[in-house]
Amino acid sequence: MDYDVLILGGGLIGCAVAYELSKYSLNIALIEKDYDIVDDVTLVNSAIIYDGIQCEDNIMSKLQFMGNDIIGDLVSKFNLSYKKCDSVIIAQNKKQGECLEEVYKRAIKRGVPNVTLLEGKHTYNLEPNLNLNVINTIYSQNTGIICPYDLGIAYGEIAFDNGVSFKLEEIVEDINKINRGFKVVTNKNKFTCRMVINTTPEDYNIDGFRENDSSNKGYLKYFLVEKEFKGNFNNIVFTYNQDNEVIYMHPTVQGNYIAAIKTKDNISYEECYRRISSLVHGLKQDDINSFYESEFYDDLMIIDDSLVDKGYIKVTGKNFAEVTMTPSIARIIRETVESNLKCKLKNDFNDKVREIYRFRDMSNEERSKIISLDKRYGKIICTCNKVTEGEIVDAIRRPLGARTLEGIKRRTGAGGGSCKGAQCMNKIVSILARETNKKMTDIVKDSKNSRILLNRIKEFDDI
Ligand SMILES: Cc1cc2nc3c(=O)[nH]c(=O)nc-3n(C[C@H](O)[C@H](O)[C@H](O)COP(=O)(O)OP(=O)(O)OC[C@H]3O[C@@H](n4cnc5c(N)ncnc54)[C@H](O)[C@@H]3O)c2cc1C
């Protein structure tokens, strides 16, 4: 066999599974169709770490609560940016108030700690800027905010450093059952393996394995709000409007805010602004940096191991709290693989992310020190987010290094400031071309057909 385990898909779940399995003496490869890992994670790099109280389903709630706990450990182990941020869920009418009482009772029954039901008036002590008629509130001290992309990159880099082979830009086309394993056919190769963990949405016809379709439950529309916005909240604030749509606002780990609405209708920017303003008073159009919209999913996340005796596990479902559930899903898969392959833990597993130096977070003394070691840390490329050439070169040279403009932006923040790359895009393209030994015209934004510079217009040596 070429591999003990083949993981299909290098999204957040695929990378988390790769990390968990890289703790074992196993020969593992991960196949991802895109140029980069964790490419599909939410574009606005910030996610709420939920605690499971808003979930109706008990198993999803448990996956969230377990994931919340594991992320607490990973944050310090992987040195990730994390904002411990409590949350309030606010009812504005009697019916919503009764629902919140039920949610509270359910949370207590599930044994979720640090959750309190507050009378309306006490909510203003937590949120003095609130301008709503509050009936009652659930206050949870379990929640937080993370950058899911950093989590995925950390999972991927550690897995890579512990021997997982990442096959990027390779599309899985078919899987065939063979004696004691599988043959996985990609657009470039054929691999044999003992087990397959499929984390992609694709379904391959293995012994009539059934597909579990994701069902779109509406839309999530959100504004990225500038750091300077005043009138923000102290907690993650959720509330419902007259039509029971959820409107919420929370800070991001980068210091901005996200103001969002979950809606059944595909509403316009203006309508979104109008509805969100009912919670976020004083939000001006000038405060909005960007507008994002996406489909909203609330599927059950299922680890389908019905074919595990043959060596096949499939993760199905799309869920708004998938980031929170990912660590628990990966641990469950790890336990299943361990008992299936009877594998042993490695003695030399290295559970560390290589150091990252962020110029904007350093003291002047630290800056002088790093510049004396590498002068590229003294050359600012992205002035909005204070990202240096040193950080961009590191992002390219690290394990599973960035190869695209988007990869640089997500790893370092370069090009993600208020000028949206107008000042630095050319410089980043030039560094990427130099470091990867490519022409500037071959550098892409994120995928094959997203070239940034189409042609040279003048034949100078430098642009
Ligand atoms: C707008 C939005 C907001 C969200 N907010 C939150 C939040 O606040 N909190 C939270 O916990 N979660 C949140 N989520 C959920 C979470 O960010 C994503 O759902 C999750 O990251 C998806 O991870 P995944 O690994 O399951 O899927 P994907 O990232 O889709 O991974 C699948 C991977 O498989 C690859 N692939 C597909 N087909 C093939 C093939 N044939 N061959 C090889 N590779 C293939 C894809 O390229 C992809 O990389 C949010 C999601 C959205 C959309």
Per-residue pLDDT of 43-97, as tens digits, reads 666 789 999 999 999 999 999 999 999 999 999 999 998 999 999 999 999 999 9
Q: What is the pLDDT of residue 216?
A: 66
Distance (angstroms) between ligand 1 centre and the Cα of 9 equals 10
6: pLDDT confidence band, cut at 50, 70 and 90? Answer: very high
Look at residue 190 and tell me whether its pLDDT is greater than 70.
Answer: yes
Q: What is the pLDDT of residues 386-434, one digit of tens each?
A: 999 999 999 999 999 999 999 999 999 999 888 889 999 999 999 999 9
Distance (angstroms) between ligand 1 centre and the Cα of 163 equals 24
Q: What is the pLDDT of residues 261-286, one digit of tens each?
A: 999 999 999 999 999 998 888 899 99
What is the pLDDT averaged over residues 199-227?
77
Look at residue 220 and tell me whether its pLDDT is greater than 60.
Answer: yes
Q: What is the pLDDT of residue 323?
A: 96
| Number of alpha carbons in the 13 Å side-chain half-sphere of residue 454 | 1
Average pLDDT, rounded, for the chain:
92
Percent of the chain with pLDDT over 90: 80
Between the alpha carbon of residue 283 and those of residues 394, 418, 460, the distances in Å are: 38, 17, 47
Q: What is the pLDDT of residue 71?
A: 97
Q: What is the pLDDT of residue 83?
A: 93
Determine the topology of domain 359-442 in CATH.
Arc Repressor Mutant, subunit A (1.10.10)
Q: What is the pLDDT of residue 438?
A: 95
Q: What is the pLDDT of residue 43?
A: 61
Which residue out of 19, 42, 168, 272 has the highest number of ligand 1 atoms within 8 Å of its CB and is therefore the one to mutate? 42
Q: What is the pLDDT of residue 42?
A: 61
The more confident residue out of 307 and 212 is 307
Distance (angstroms) between ligand 1 centre and the Cα of 368 equals 39
CATH 3.50.50.60 domain locations along the chain: 1-82+144-212+299-354
d(CA 98, CA 101): 5
Query: Helix or strand or coil: residue 262?
Result: strand
DSSP string, 183-233: EEEESS-EEEEEEEEE-SS----STTPPP----EEEEEEEEEEPTT--S--
Q: What is the pLDDT of residue 457?
A: 79
Q: What is the pLDDT of residue 311?
A: 95
462: pLDDT confidence band, cut at 50, 70 and 90? Answer: low
At residue 261, what is the residue type?
A: I
What residue owns the CA closest to ligand 1's atom 37?
200
What is the pLDDT averaged over residues 430-449?
93
Look at residue 446 and tell me whether its pLDDT is greater than 70.
Answer: yes
Look at residue 206 and tell me whether its pLDDT is greater than 80.
Answer: no
**Residue 251 backbone phi and psi in degrees, to 5:** -75, 160
| Pocket of ligand 1, beta carbon within 6 A | 8-14, 31-34, 39-42, 47-48, 148, 171-172, 199-200, 202, 220, 294, 318, 320-324
d(CA 119, CA 123): 7
How does DSSP classify residue 246?
E
Look at residue 202 and tell me whether its pLDDT is greater than 90.
Answer: no
Cβ atoms of 142 and 112 closer than 8 Å = yes
CATH class held by domain 1-82+144-212+299-354? alpha beta
Q: What is the pLDDT of residue 319?
A: 92
Which residue out of 189, 200, 214 has the highest number of ligand 1 atoms within 8 Å of its CB and is therefore the one to mutate? 200
Cα–Cα–Cα angle for 167, 25, 173, nearest 5°?
30
Q: Which numbered atom of ligand 1 lies nearest the CA of 200?
A: 34
CATH 1.10.10.1100 domain locations along the chain: 359-442
d(CA 193, CA 185): 11
What is the pLDDT averaged over residues 108-126?
95
Look at residue 256 and tell me whether its pLDDT is greater than 90.
Answer: no
Distance (angstroms) between ligand 1 centre and the Cα of 36 equals 13
Look at residue 14 and tell me whether its pLDDT is greater than 90.
Answer: yes
| CATH architecture for the domain at 83-143+214-297 | 2-Layer Sandwich (3.30)
Q: What is the pLDDT of residues 137-160, one digit of tens each?
A: 999 999 999 999 999 999 999 999
Q: What is the pLDDT of residue 212?
A: 55
Q: What is the pLDDT of residue 227?
A: 83
Which residue out of 40, 51, 221 has the highest number of ligand 1 atoms within 8 Å of its CB and is therefore the one to mutate? 40
Look at residue 36 and tell me whether its pLDDT is greater than 90.
Answer: yes
d(CA 432, CA 396): 7
Q: What is the pLDDT of residue 458?
A: 73
Between the alpha carbon of residue 266 and those of residues 41, 42, 104, the distances in Å are: 21, 19, 31
Cβ atoms of 290 and 278 closer than 8 Å = no
Which parts of 242-323 are beta strand (E)?
Answer: 246-251, 257-263, 288-297, 302-307, 312-316
d(CA 22, CA 79): 19
CATH 3.30.9.10 domain locations along the chain: 83-143+214-297
